[in-house]
Structure 1
């Protein structure tokens, strides 16, 4: 039989639920406002603040989907995200696999150098000079290569690989399995939690790329969505490159619709990878 709560416990429980409800409403309110504004007709903006539009319309979404500048920015974000994540996960997982193997000579030194890079940054100007010297400015490679391998990701994924039974890998080698096949057919399938976790990190990071794009991409047709949104929301009174004409025609509904479309891919992807998140992070961190 459950113990009855005292008066103090009941009051505390009510206060906790009240706080959580208020906190949840504060989080959901901006999202609700963005959604309702994106479906509102243009006339609603002249009657002041509102939460529910007088009528629901898809004009803002239709305008964006037929706008060449927005479509170009969306395509750029998709390209940057897909190839950036593939490059990052390929290089990171291969490096982590090598460092997890006992036969690798000098792996302690390499591990120390990896940790050392977490303490000191290469700096913005030296990085730009290297990228410029390699003639990567105004190309997507300038966004992909400088941050392709993360020290934190290598350490955690290496820890996960190390947690796998060493005897299992030795048995596969005895049966004639080469290193590439061992990595692709055995290690990666067993490492779905940590691979999915850092794939999610890579997708979010590449999709939200802004600072690097501003620095390295001069061609407006290559700008990703985050740069495009800034021009739309903050710098709309300035003529910037090829977006000048479009910026002066964006209504508040179009801006809110652009924000929702930008956030939608991550909202769709996250539920499929979220189940691996905790397991991948904790196991990799503990063993690392």
Structure 2
């Protein structure tokens, strides 16, 4: 046992107090949304203090959200976009990162600069729409998956992760007769698993929260993602409130908070399964000098 000095104890207490305070500041907005979503609208509007527990209790906001049968169609569509889109994103990003991380590639710097160029300049909304139209992807599910198959920002992170893998592993694999496909999928990607999981999370969250592209490119309601249905519910509620056509319990702020919970909680459940990969170092001891 190492005896700590008074200064170390004081530092530990101050550090712990600051971390607890930061945790409360970070957690309270989420708790506020949860409490507000199940609060009585009249009491919630009359509340002027911090909301530390529900102001009354009612599930009318959630009933309003789930009373629309289309919400379930939105869930299934969003799950499809997240699974299919993220799979394509990871495969395409890993393949591009593998090529651009090979130092022996000719014009490597040139191709990398081409990707980086797209981070700062793009054609704009109308040229993008015309491109999607010419590709025949208007009102197609592919319009929400293919155009954003590779994020340049995520690609740069993946390249950095691949470059951190010792070259000796690739050289030994080539001596054993492995080609680039084997090296990528059986050596590089398993060793870069923490990086891949982080990028996978970024892509999945992006697909889950996406609604703007669907509003532009999708026409059929049966192809719309969840966020579009929730946006329509919220818009109709606000328009009804402005027109005075809805009851007080339905025009309350609770409908807004309920839509936030409905659209946020499912993707939050993914974090605990990926968090361990954020700090896991799988390269420790991989190469012996």
**Cα shift at 1:104:** 2.9
Contact 2:97 2:162 in 1 (8 A): yes
Cα deviation digits, residues 120-141 of structure 1 (max 9, x gap): 1232111111001112112221
Displacement of 1:106 in angstroms is 2.4
Q: Which runs of 5+ in 2 are unaligned?
A: 241-248, 282-289
Matched, 1:191 2:192: yes
Structure 1 counterpart of 2:284: none
Matched, 1:212 2:213: yes
TM-score (norm: length of structure 2): 0.76
Cα distance, 1:84 vs. partner? 1.0
Mean CA deviation greater in 82-91 or 45-54: 45-54
Q: Determine if contact 1:232/1:250 at 8 Å carries over to the other structure.
A: no
Residue 224 of structure 2 aligns with which residue? 223
Does the residue aligned with 1:67 lie in a helix, a strand or coil?
Answer: coil
State the shift of 1:39 in Å: 3.8
Q: Which whole-Å CA distance do the structure 2 matches of 1:155 and 1:13 have between them?
A: 37
Q: Does the CA-based 8 Å contact 2:42-2:252 persist in structure 1?
A: no
Match of 1:136 in 2: 137
Superposition deviation, residue 230 in structure 1: 2.1
1:45 to 28, 41, 48: 41
Partner of 1:36: 35
TM-score (normalised: structure 1): 0.77
Cα pair distance change 1:251/1:77, threshold 3 Å: farther
1:182 counterpart residue number: 183
Distance 1:107 1:268, change over 3 A: same
Aligned residue pairs: how many?
Answer: 262
Q: How big is each residue's C-alpha offset from its partner over 1:249-276, in whole Å with a ceiling of 9 and x where there is no partner?
A: 7876555333222111221111222233
RMSD: 3.2
Structure 1: tracts of 5 or more residues without a match: 240-247, 281-288
1:285 matched to which residue of 2? none
Residue deviations 1:62-118, cap 9 Å, x none?
665563111111112111111111111111100111122244332222112122222
C-alpha separation between the residues in 2 aligned to 1:23 and 1:180? Answer: 45
Contact 1:157/1:195 (CA < 8 Å) preserved in 2? Answer: yes
Change (3 A) 1:185 1:229: same
Q: Deviations over 1:5-62 (max 9, x none)?
A: 6xxx89x959x94x7766655544443333234445xxx334444743545x666556
Distance 1:39 1:118, change over 3 A: closer
